[in-house]
Amino acid sequence: MVWTVAGLTAFIFAARRVGVPLAAVALAMVSPVSLYGLAIGQNGFFTSALLLLSLGCVEASPILAGLGAGALIIKPHLAMLLPVCFLAARNYTAFVVAAVTAGGMGLSSVLFFGPATWVYFIYHELAVAGTIMSRPWPFGQSIMVSPFVEAHSLGSDVPTAMLVQGMATLAAAVLTWRLWRRRWTGNPLARLLATLALAFLSVPHDCIYDLSAMAAVLAAYGMRDPRYGLEIFAAFCLLMAVYALLSFFTFSTGAMFLVVVAAYGASEARLQFANSTT
């Protein structure tokens, strides 16, 4: 109960801090991805809160953004594109604070719990993750949404799927740099939505319970753009409600949907930037 309440509190605080309306937060909390994470006791609300703070507070509060990014050391692969965002935006304060926070948390864990936890993580947990990724489709992978998993589900062997993932990661990094290299003056939700989708596309191991932040921003943007935003949010909820079964019996479609969301968010961001410069 304490874990759940703490996660929900962090998520609500972060979402409201970056401008997500309360109604959109409520929709995200009852979306399939959030309910699945709650049911199995995952940390999706905490990591979603940190992602929202990291990406949504860069201009307004770079120290808070850096603290959020550094705290993502608890699930570091989700933070892969955050240094790209900070450097492209020339926000060196957020970058330095993130590095110091991550280093401080890592050092603190060693001081309080000893180095055995890191040894266990490196030699056991990473090995377990590698074993899951190399198993035949769909065992252990049907709730994942990465390009690696999609390629693997379509019959690619592990090296080929990793090559696909590598190309997706590089493309996501380049597109993220382009989104963040100019000072942003438009609706922050558009860039936030595109960056979240790209962040999930950039890593091979991410699951549907990691997507609560995207659910919140999709719902918020849907309220601002009822033409397409609400339809995309509804499609997101419908897909995630049946995602595990659909993936198990057919193939993974998560990465394809993330590409759609990234394209939608990026197109909205470019349109807003063009309007702001005319």
Mean pLDDT confidence for 156-176: 95
pLDDT value at residue 66 = 96
Confidence of residue 140 (pLDDT cuts 50, 70, 90): confident
pLDDT value at residue 275 = 55
Q: Measured over all CA atoms, what is the biggest interatomic distance in the chain, rounded to whole angstroms? A: 57
pTM exceeding the 0.85 threshold for the entire prediction = yes
The first and second tokens of residue 133, run together, are 């990724």
pLDDT value at residue 276 = 54
pLDDT > 90 fraction of the chain, expressed in percent and rounded: 65
CA distance 232 to 223: 11
Side chain identity, residue 98: A
Mean pLDDT confidence for 242-270: 89
CA distance 256 to 246: 14
- Mean pLDDT score of the chain, rounded to an integer? 89
Cβ-proximal residues to 132 (8 Å cutoff; 6+ apart), any chain: 140, 141, 205
pLDDT value at residue 259 = 95
pLDDT value at residue 266 = 85
Q: Is 1 helix (H, G, I), strand (E, B) or coil?
A: coil
The more confidently predicted of residues 41 and 168 is: 168
Distance in Å from the first CA to the final CA of the chain: 52
Q: Are 264 and 258 in contact (CB under 8 A)?
A: no
CA distance 238 to 208: 13
The first and second tokens of residue 185, run together, are 């003056």
Q: 23 vs 2, 16, 102, 223, CA distance in Å?
A: 24, 10, 33, 9
Angle at 159 between CA 154 and CA 165, to 5 degrees: 70
Q: What residues pair up with 207 in beta bridges, in sequence order? A: 144
pLDDT value at residue 255 = 94
pLDDT value at residue 138 = 81
